[in-house]
Each structure stands twice: as C-alpha cells, then as structure tokens.
Amino acid sequence: MGEPLRIGMVGAGAISGQYLTTLERLDGVRLTAVTDLDPARAEAVAARMPGVAVAATAAELLARPDVDAVLNLTLPAVHAEVARAALDAGKHVYGEKPLATTREEAAGLLALAAGRGLRIGCAPDTVLGTGVQTARRAVDDGLIGTPVAATAFMTTPGHERWHPAPEFYYLPGGGPLLDMGPYYLSTLVHLLGPVGRVTGAASRPRPERVVGGGPRAGERFTSEVDTHVTGLLEHTGGALTTLVMSFDIHAARLPRIEVHGTEGSLSLPDPNGFDGPVDLHRAGGGWEPLPVSGGYRNAGRGTGLADLATALAEDRPHRASGELARHVLDVMLTLLDAARDGVWLPVAGDCGRPEAVRH
C-alpha cells in the first residue's frame, strides 16, 4: 500500500484512548489532526502523539489539506451532523456507532457519500476480530449444519455505575439497544445474514438513575429511553434470533451469543471484544474449542478504519461499512417501533453479509 490514510479525529473523549492505541501501531493510517470541545483533551492527544495538530474547531479540522478521512468520535446525537459536514468537505468518514439516530439521516449520509465518491465506515469493528470471524468460518463451513436459531444477551445494571457523566446513554439515540445492540446485531448479520422482520417488547422499570462514582456520585437523572428490550428477529435466511438488551439486570449467567444449527451449536465470546474462545458442540458430542481460523489478529478499535484504508487502496468494499451500520440501525429502530405497537414489522433496509476475514 502507498501513503497512509491521513486521519482527523473529531472528539477526544473516553473511547478515543482505545482508538489511539490501535492507530499508534498501524501502518496504513496516520493521525494528523484532532479537535474536541474541551481543548485540554485535544492537547492531551497531541502530547501523546507528536506531529498531530490541534484544530480549534471541527470546521478548522475539516478544512485541513492533510486530512483524508474523519474519525467521528462525538456523541451519538451529533454523529450524523459531523459525518455530513465531513462528507461535504470531501473527506471519507469512519465513526462510532450508531451511524445516525434516524433512518432518514442514515440514508441521507449514504446517498451523499455515494454521490461524492466517498466512503463511510462505522463501528463496531469488533466483528473483524478472531472471535466472530472464527465462528463465521465454522458457520460457512457447515460445522453446525443449517443455522436454525441464535440467542444474544447483553445484561448490565446500567452504565451509570461506572461512567462519570452517563446521561447521554439515557437520551434518544442511547439506551441498551442502540448503545450495545450494534455489537450483537453486526455479529448476527455476519453469521446469519440480514434481518427481514422483528417483534418485541420494551420497558423502563427504573426511570430515575443515580450516578455511581466520580465527582458527581449520588446525582439523580431521568432516563428518556426504554432500558430493557426483548426482541425476536427473523433473518432473511430463516433463522430466528432471541435478543435481550438490558440496563436493568444486576447479574446473570447467560451466554453472550450462541448459534444453533441442524448439526450442532456454537458459543461465542463477548462481541464487545475482538477475540476470545469459540466453542463448538457437534451433534452427539461435547463442547470443544475451535482453533482460530479467521479475523484480524491483535485487533483493536480502529481496525475497521484500517480495513477501510486498505479497501481504498485495493478498490474493494470495506467491511465495517455504512450499509451494514444502516441495516443494524434500521433493525434497532424497527424493533423499538414493534415493541411500542405490539406487532411484527418488516425491516425496510437490507444489506449483504460483509466479506469474511480469512486466514
């Protein structure tokens, strides 16, 4: 590959540290500029990575000629706004999930990018690690026969237990489904293909939450979104997934993701990580660990951005794509609509399974 893709980072909050750790060791991308509403956070990034310029505003960063792509690490409510500004400035975009908070915003971003010949990528890229990709290889190779069903569980008592300023998790665009659902749903699309229709139920058993630590410990705030969501997803290939996403469960012994087929079952590691053991249970046998057979090794947050850079150089589709992110967003919003109305609803958007990462 030729020159690295030059990256301008908008937003230097808590998640940025994980991206910086990855960017520091990748050859195909290079951070050149950073901006944040808190100048001290941007200065801290520049101090950590010599040669990175601090831009006073996002507009100033977008105007820089040494920025080819924007890494959008802003709050979910402004993901679409920042992405649109970057595309208008002629920059590729890779952002944190969700891609946007509405279907209309997501569709508009993809249309704008296509019209300008630009790429949109979106987290999660954890699906490109060895955990999910080893499981995908097992599914593709027929080790469990025809997939029949899957289960996906994310249970926690709430992010206010550890985050010093957790309110944004409980605003529109947040909640357990939109915050953590992309990890699980992106994994399920890789394994089983896109989702065709959904139904479910949702509740808000504790509308008032309490900050658990930090200088604001004990402060109370109100959740504006449902915090326990149960869904049933029908994939276009016929498999059924049972999904539970909750900020209201104190403890559980549930698996993260399991996939069951006509000839066996798979148990996957936490999709919020990049690796971990994948276990196979063959019909009539017992559980056995699978050797790593796919995925980027030693991956971290930002691997999807590196994959986008390589895809540009090789003129191929990138894997952590805007199309996949839009489909996942559509699944989540449709599930919330179905839960509200108590009906099955079709998922309007569609996408293909991204290309696997093979060894």
Question: Which active-site residues does the annotation give?
Answer: 97
290, two tokens: 């699978």
3-class SS shares of the chain: helix, strand, coil, % to 5: 35, 25, 40
CA distances for 97 relative to 41, 61, 125, 282, angstroms: 21, 21, 10, 35
CA-CA distance, 343 to 188, in Å (whole number)?
22
Q: Where are the beta strands (DSSP E) in the chain?
A: 5-10, 29-35, 53-54, 69-72, 92-95, 120-122, 147-155, 195-203, 208-210, 220-222, 228-235, 240-246, 257-261, 264-268, 279-282, 287-289, 345-346
Strand, coil or helix: 94: strand
Residues listed for the chain: 359
204, two tokens: 């808000």
Beta-carbon neighbour count of residue 37 at 10 Å? 14
41, two tokens: 């956070």
CA distances for 20 relative to 31, 116, 218, angstroms: 9, 28, 32
How distant is the alpha carbon of residue 248 from its chain centre? 21
